[in-house]
Amino acid sequence: MLAIGTHAPLLNAKDHHGKEVRSEELLGKGPLVVYFYPKDFTPGCTREACMFRDAYADLDGHGATIVGISMDDDASHQRFAERYHLPFSLVADPKFAVARAWGVARPLGLGAWRVTYVVDRTGVIRGAFHHEISMSKHVSEVRDLLEQLKSRAA
């Protein structure tokens, strides 16, 4: 896992709609929430994605952009996003290049650890949350951190 206070790696990829996802552009709008998860349609990953979906308006209200990343391909991401009405980008990382750069690749090609990063507008990691079982903590800790960042900026 990458350390809090370090610069996040650049994220340049296409999402499940073929739209470019570039961290440099997204950070111009506000904080970036990047969450890595093991696999589309599994119970835990579905629950986590739906929690981010349900908190989307609140997180967006803090200026945050959410991006989910797993090893699944674009077709799987598209079905997953459509079935669960996910309003944020999902990025395919089948070769684990992004997961490795962000320090979350599991050994033996077993996907990514369930890790969520919050990156501030300057590209610095302000939060790193790793909970394999308690998916709800990802969203609550992200929300709390975004509120803290917003109050510090005021």
CA separation for the pair 55, 41 (Å, rounded) = 19
**pTM of the complete model beyond 0.75:** yes
Give tens-digit pLDDT for 85-109. Answer: 999 999 999 999 999 999 999 988 7
Q: Is residue 3 part of a domain?
A: no
Number of structural domains in the chain: 1
Q: Is residue 140 part of a domain?
A: no
**Is 50 assigned a catalytic role?**
no
CATH of the domain at 35: 3.40.30.10
Do the domain assignments include residue 143? no
Task: Write out the residue range of the structural domain in which residue 87 sits.
Answer: 12-127
Instruction: State mean pLDDT over 135-148.
Output: 93
pLDDT at 151: 83
Does residue 20 form part of some domain? yes
Given the residues 27, 33, 34, 45, select the one marked as catalytic. 45
On whether residue 141 sits in a domain, the answer given is no
Q: Is residue 138 part of a domain?
A: no
Average pLDDT, the chain: 94
* Burial label, 131 (beta-carbon count in 10 A; 0-12, 13-18, 19+): middle
